[in-house]
Amino acid sequence: MGLDIKIPIGLMFTILGLILTILGLVTMGDTEMYEQALGYNINLFSGLIMLVFGCFMLFTSTLFKKKKAEE
């Protein structure tokens, strides 16, 4: 199929990862908010993992390969 699925997956996880990472950074030290998560800044952890995964998907997609070929 013409559309490489890695592009939408990569884009979505990069965007969601960015949102959660920023949220995690902004709320760092907010013990009240993370009390229910036993003190773990779960937004920051999840956000970073998603960001890395999203970027990995994008870099291995046809989007990046085509650009490489053009150069």
Q: Which residues bind another protein (CB under 8 A)?
A: 1-3, 5, 8-9, 11-13, 15-16, 19-20, 23-24, 33-34, 36-38, 40, 42-43, 45-47, 49-50, 53
Q: Half-sphere exposure (CA, 13 Å, Cβ side) for 3?
A: 5
CA proximity to 31, closest of 39, 43, 23: 39
Nearer to another protein among residue 36 and residue 71 (C-beta):
36
Which is closer to another protein, CB of 1 or CB of 69?
A: 1
Minimum distance, C-beta of residue 71 to another protein, in the bound complex (Å): 25
